[in-house]
Amino acid sequence: MKYPIKIFIAFLLLATTMAGAQEKAVEKGNKDFNQYAFIDARAAYLKVAEKGFRSEDLLKRLADSYYFTADYTDAAKWYGALYDFSDGAMETDYLFRYAQTLKSTSQYAASDKIMEELYAKGGEDLRGNLFVGERNYLAEIERQSGRFEIENASFNSKLSDFAPSFYLGDVVFSSNRTNGKKPRRIHDWNDQPFLDIYKVNLDDSGSKKFKAKKINTKYHESTTVFTRDGQTMYFTRNNYTDKKYREDSEGINLLKLYRATMSEKGKWEVEELPFNSDEYSVAHPALSKDGNTLYFASDMPGGKGLSDLYKVSIDGNGFGVPENLGDGINTEGRETFPFISSADKMYFASDGHVGLGGLDVFVSDIKEDESFGDIYNVGRPINGPQDDFTFIMNGTTGQGYFASNRPGGVGDDDIYNLTQIEPLETECKQTLDGQVLDEVSGLPIAGAEVLLLDADNDVMDRATSGGQGKFTFPLDCLKQYTVRASKEGYTTTEKPFATTSDPDAKVIKTLFMKKDLLPGGPAKIGDDLAKLLALNPIYFDLDKSYIRLDAAIELQKVIAVLEAYPLMKIDVRSYTDSRASDSYNLALSERRAQSTIDYISQNGAISRSRLTGRGYGETQLVNGCSNGVPCSEIEQQLNRRSEFIVVE
């Protein structure tokens, strides 16, 4: 194991036996962690951490060992220690988990602060972007709340009961209950018995193991879904097929999906699905309304987060190619436990979308083209600070179930009855009302082209500002947009913004446009700003190099252009008339060029790195007033000038 230098120094201060003991404790913790035996890993890490031997890696694993067993209070403590140890320079995944644990312990302001830091890190992390779009997420959840009534189901045990599914009028669920018997096997993950599939008859609330020898084994079985006729079931099991136990390349036994079909003799015949793998988990099945599409969760390569949702077509006895449901659904967090209702709504659990903490239940409409609508948190009382998941509901009756590890239940995870008393909001539209104004005069600008751009800078809509400079666009909620205005004679301006989750809200945006200081179009290398700006000549008094008042006015125009175009660089060129000697005039023009540069730099706060220049004396006269040629003062003055040549 590799240790940071702080750990090495700490170990050197201890006796050899002490150092060896600590190293063995950490190594044991790593071994247990990699086997998902989080309880044992935690004990090993705690021994080291509580003695003051801390490293970034150790704190990550210790905090994760609490996070992945839903102990969010202690997870928040150790993520906080990691945050302090790293001086806040945490990776985005750990920032997100820290924010989630803070939220799960009702520390919403602190959670928001960490999410702000996540967003500030930039990049493509969708969770931070979603947070910015959902800054009023608590208001959204409160507005959505109160649409269900819930009560603890009568068939819960003192251990874990979850993952309900509908089966021919009964309810099938997962449980590790012992029914008073001593369990044959204990799982290292949580020191509890393995899960089996149970069925409950709702008439008498009596529960019993699902009667099928080939379904329940000595390992985990959970999360079922049945076809309408009850003749086919899909379920999750540890990687244990035909009594063969398999592990991945790191020695970890993962999850797989199985299909069981009722034979003519009334027995379940079980087969492993072809897109399983020993190297990643495939789990938690759901069926489309027509039964032709299977949805599931997986951490297979190519996904976006810790687990993503996928779908695959069912072609008779075969299957198509699994397809990721995409960024609209999946985040860098966990998306899992999908369920498709008869009303063509997908419910799923996620800790990547903004919620109240832990896993929350979300809903999205499935459209006719099989794409998904906006995602909505289903609100309280379904969701709370703990994990809420495995939501199912009859889309016609509004009756259903979900599971939660919230306080006040019978066991670790409990199943709750739910009744929908009011429809959920699953569509949200807003309106952008805007106006284009002149920045100086404040007057409306009519006839400006206004574009509405999405987060990828693609044009979503366009309009022309009216007589009062006004325009309007329809918007989707919880999206990022940019509105951009352009018109000949003005510089293009734009404003980025994000919509909230407030239905029918109006977004007000005012775009201020500046008169284009380069009316001839963008300057090109070699152009003279004096000509593009139609400047009055920058005159100097005879034999002088100071900036006159009239010249200062013109130089302010040059400064304005340089401020408006911060990447522009210019070369200042100064000239004299033919009077006095050539060498004197060359030196005078050099002083005039430097005086001009000094003025622009000092009065406009323009970096001198953007300014170059030199004097050319009388080498480039604009008329015939050369040495010895009689000319008027006005003619001579035309040669005492400056140019501003664009060089970049």
Q: What is the CATH number of the domain that holds 478?
A: 2.60.40.10
- Which CATH number belongs to the domain containing residue 57 in this structure? 1.25.40.10
Q: Are residues 222 and 340 in the same domain?
A: yes
The per-residue pLDDT for 422 is: 95
Pick the range with the lowest mean pLDDT from 38-52, 420-434, 590-604.
38-52
Q: Are residues 310 and 221 in the same domain?
A: yes
Q: Which residue has the tokens 């590790």?
A: 176
pLDDT at 79 over 90: yes
The per-residue pLDDT for 619 is: 81
Residue 516 binned pLDDT confidence (cut-offs 50, 70, 90)? low
Q: What confidence tens digit (pLDDT) does each residue in 517-538 have?
A: 555 556 788 888 877 766 777 7
The two structure tokens encoding residue 416: 């709750």
pLDDT at 8 over 50: no
pLDDT at 50 over 70: yes
Q: Is residue 160 part of a domain?
A: yes
Evaluate if pTM is beyond 0.85. no
Q: Which residue has the tokens 């006040």?
A: 408
Q: Among residues 485, 513, 541, which one ends one of the domains?
A: 513
End-to-end CA distance of the chain, in Å?
54
- Which CATH number belongs to the domain containing residue 399 in this structure? 2.120.10.30
The per-residue pLDDT for 11 is: 27
Q: Are residues 456 and 416 in the same domain?
A: no
Q: Are residues 65 and 33 in the same domain?
A: yes
Roughly what angle, to the nearest 10 degrees, separates helices 56-67 and 72-85? 160
Q: Are residues 315 and 235 in the same domain?
A: yes
Q: What confidence tens digit (pLDDT) does each residue in 120-166 have?
A: 776 555 455 555 444 467 777 888 999 999 999 999 999 999 999 99
Mean pLDDT of 387-411: 94
| Furthest-apart CA atoms within the chain: distance in Å | 122
Q: Among residues 420, 452, 473, which one ends one of the domains?
A: 420
Q: What is the mean pLDDT of the chain?
A: 84
Phi–psi pair at 77, nearest 5 degrees:
-60, -45
pLDDT at 29 over 70: no
For residues 321 and 579, the model is more confident at 321
Mean pLDDT of 247-257: 92
The per-residue pLDDT for 180 is: 64
Q: Are residues 164 and 200 in the same domain?
A: yes
Task: Name the residue range of residue 533's domain.
Answer: 529-646
For residues 370 and 530, the model is more confident at 370
Q: Are residues 552 and 466 in the same domain?
A: no
> What is the count of structural domains for the chain?
4
Nearest to 237 by CA among 219, 253, 213: 219
Q: Is residue 522 part of a domain?
A: no
Q: Are residues 268 and 347 in the same domain?
A: yes
The per-residue pLDDT for 16 is: 33
Q: Is residue 521 part of a domain?
A: no
CB neighbour list of residue 597: distance below 8 Å, 6 or more residues apart = 572, 608, 611, 612, 613
Q: Is residue 142 part of a domain?
A: no
Q: Is residue 470 part of a domain?
A: yes
Q: Are residues 246 and 361 in the same domain?
A: yes
Q: Is residue 251 part of a domain?
A: yes
Top-confidence range, 18-27, 128-137, 298-307, 475-484: 298-307
Q: Is residue 439 part of a domain?
A: yes
Q: Among residues 78, 100, 135, which one ends one of the domains?
A: 135
Q: Are residues 381 and 279 in the same domain?
A: yes
Q: Are residues 505 and 606 in the same domain?
A: no
- Which CATH number belongs to the domain containing residue 539 in this structure? 3.30.1330.60
For residues 185 and 499, the model is more confident at 499
From residue 631, how far is each of 361, 574, 580, 586, 634 by CA, in Å? 89, 20, 14, 20, 8
Pick the range with the lowest mean pLDDT from 22-36, 102-116, 366-380, 495-509.
22-36
Q: Are residues 445 and 553 in the same domain?
A: no
Mean pLDDT of 322-339: 94
Q: Is residue 144 part of a domain?
A: no
Residue 581 binned pLDDT confidence (cut-offs 50, 70, 90)? confident
